[in-house]
Every structure is written in structure tokens, then in C-alpha cells.
């Protein structure tokens, strides 16, 4: 499916050169990214993950995939850069812990304590100076054959994966977006609405996993401590 939609993770608050003349560089950057696309690519601090943060620790670029027995493929690439937190309060487990596959974000044991009902919005002053500039964006790709309306429905469902991985999510300080791409190589089997619902559910899980993996793969940078360093010894 084709779309004119586009999104850029907020990066104007850095100290880089903004004197680019009449045309901003984002279109050229997008074209260059497409030209350099490959099956293997770096995660964590790479690309859109470089200046990303989630709450009080370094965010990053994450990617995961899923494949069922019928050949349905779903992949997600997400730049986790949220005002909310990717981990469970004082515990190092990710909110997306139940959805992890093959140790992709540490294969951690179950959390030791229940999560309190009250949601932390500022762990240790983490909000200072960071109330703006958060954008978690991602792409879900599938080999299913979808109409534009169906792709939109999958995107709506996939967006809920952010709520499974980040808490709180969709705050007044966030700008979040998930896009869906469909190659159209596989026809959905059985009852189409039910199959579409299943696809959207898998997509949401992939988005949640990709968020956690992006944080897990990130390294400390720009004064932001990465997950490993922040929870060292805990």
C-alpha cells in the first residue's frame, strides 16, 4: 500500500547545525535510508535511537519479528523515545517482559514484587528538563495482503503495543505513531475479520518487544545512563 504519511523523531533540541537553507534535510535522509536498507542493521544507539531516552534511562532502536506455521510474517522496528518508563518501577524487568522471545531483552526472571497501582511519573527527578521532545515512532511490516482500511486497523491495534511496553504512554509530552506496511504476498486464511484481528494482536506484541529491545540494546550516551548501567548490581 502507498501512503504520503511521514514522521520524524524530534531532534531539533540538540546543538547541531540548523542552517540548512531553504530545504530541511529530512527528505534526503529518508531517501538515503531507503537506499541503504539491508537485512541486518544495528540496534540501540543506531540511527533514530542515538538521542532517544525512555523516562530516566537511555532509549534506543529496537526490532523484532514473528512467524507462524501458516507463513504469516510480522516485523517491527521502533525508536523508543518516550516520556514514560520501559521498566517496572525499581525492578529491572521490562514492562514487555511477558512477551519476550528467545532472550531478546535479557531473559530476565519474573519480577519479584507486585507493581504498585500508582504510576511513577518522575523517578528521582528524571523529568527535569525533559518534559518535551518525546516521540516514539515505529513501523510494522507484514507479508499479508491488506487493503488500506485493513492496514489502518492493524496500525490501530499495533499502537497498543506501546502501552504494553511503556508506562505511562501517550502523555501530553509524547508524539507517538505506528505505521503499517504490507507486501501483499500472503492471503489471510479463514474468517477474514478474525484473521485480521489475530494479525493486529501479533503486531502489538511485536511493537512491545521492539520497544524493550531498543532500550536493552542501547548504550549510555549524552549523559543518559543505559539500562545495564542503571540496574548494575540490582
Q: How far apart are alpha carbons 8 and 25 in whole angstroms?
A: 11
Decide if 10 is inside a domain: no
Task: Decide if 187 is inside a domain.
Answer: yes
In a domain, 190, yes or no: yes
Domain of 207, in residue numbers: 41-102+132-226
Domain containing residue 197: CATH number: 3.60.70.12
Residue 85 in domain: yes
- Is 31 contained in some domain? no
The whole-number pLDDT of residue 29 equals 82
In the predicted model, is pLDDT for residue 49 greater than 80?
Answer: yes
Read off the C-alpha cell for 48.
533514530
- How many residues make up the chain in this entry? 234
Query: What pLDDT, on a 0 to 100 scale, did the predictor assign at position 24?
Result: 84
Report pLDDT digits (tens) over 53-107.
Answer: 999 899 999 999 999 999 999 999 999 999 999 999 889 999 999 999 999 999 9
- CA dist 95 and 48 (Å) reads 22
Three-state DSSP class for residue 226? coil
Number of folded domains that form the chain: 1
Residue 231 belongs to some domain of the structure: no
Please write the tens of the pLDDT for every residue from 112-167. 988 877 777 777 655 444 556 688 999 999 999 999 999 999 999 999 999 999 99
Cell 514522521, residue located: 7
pLDDT band at 197 (very low <50, low <70, confident <90, very high): very high
Q: What distance in Å separates the CA atoms of residue 117 and residue 23, rounded to the nearest whole number?
A: 48
What's the pLDDT score for residue 16?
Answer: 64
Residue 125 inside a domain? The answer is no
The mean pLDDT of the chain is: 88
| Buried b or exposed e, range 52-78, using 16+ CB within 10 angstroms | bbbbbbbbbbbbbebeeeeebbbbbbb
- The mean pLDDT value for 37-57 works out to 91
Residue 233 included in any domain: no
The answer to whether the CB of 91 falls within 8 A of the CB of 198 is no
Q: How far is CA 232 from CA 45, 81, 225, 228, in A?
A: 19, 22, 11, 6
Amino acid at each position: 500500500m502507498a501512503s504520503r504519511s511521514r514522521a520524524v523523531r524530534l531532534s531539533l533540541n540538540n546543538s547541531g547545525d540548523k542552517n540548512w537553507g531553504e530545504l530541511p534535510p529530512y527528505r534526503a535522509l529518508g531517501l538515503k535510508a531507503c537506499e541503504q536498507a539491508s537485512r541486518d542493521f544495528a540496534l540501540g544507539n543506531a540511527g533514530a535511537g542515538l538521542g532517544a531516552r525512555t523516562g530516566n534511562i537511555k532509549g534506543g532502536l529496537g526490532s523484532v519479528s514473528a512467524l507462524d506455521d501458516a507463513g504469516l510474517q510480522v516485523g517491527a522496528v521502533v525508536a523508543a523515545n518516550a516520556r514514560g518508563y520501559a521498566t517496572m518501577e525499581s525492578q529491572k524487568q521490562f514492562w514487555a517482559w511477558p512477551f519476550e522471545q528467545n532472550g531478546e531483552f535479557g531473559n530476565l526472571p519474573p519480577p519479584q514484587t507486585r507493581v504498585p497501582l500508582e504510576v511513577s511519573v518522575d523517578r528521582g527527578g528524571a523529568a527535569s528538563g525533559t518534559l518535551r521532545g518525546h516521540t516514539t515512532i515505529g513501523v510494522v511490516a507484514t507479508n499479508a495482503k491488506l487493503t488500506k482500511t485493513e492496514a489502518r486497523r492493524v496500525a490501530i491495534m499495533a499502537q497498543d503495543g506501546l502501552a504494553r511496553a511503556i508506562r505511562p504512554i501517550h502523555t501530553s509530552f509524547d508524539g507517538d505513531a505506528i505505521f503499517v506496511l504490507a507486501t501483499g504476498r500472503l492471503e489471510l486464511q479463514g474468517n477474514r475479520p478474525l484473521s485480521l484481528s489475530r494479525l493486529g494482536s501479533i503486531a502489538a506484541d511485536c511493537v512491545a518487544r521492539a520497544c524493550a529491545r531498543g532500550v536493552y540494546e542501547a548504550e549510555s550516551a549524552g549523559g543518559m545512563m543505559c539500562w545495564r548501567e542503571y540496574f548494575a548490581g540490582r
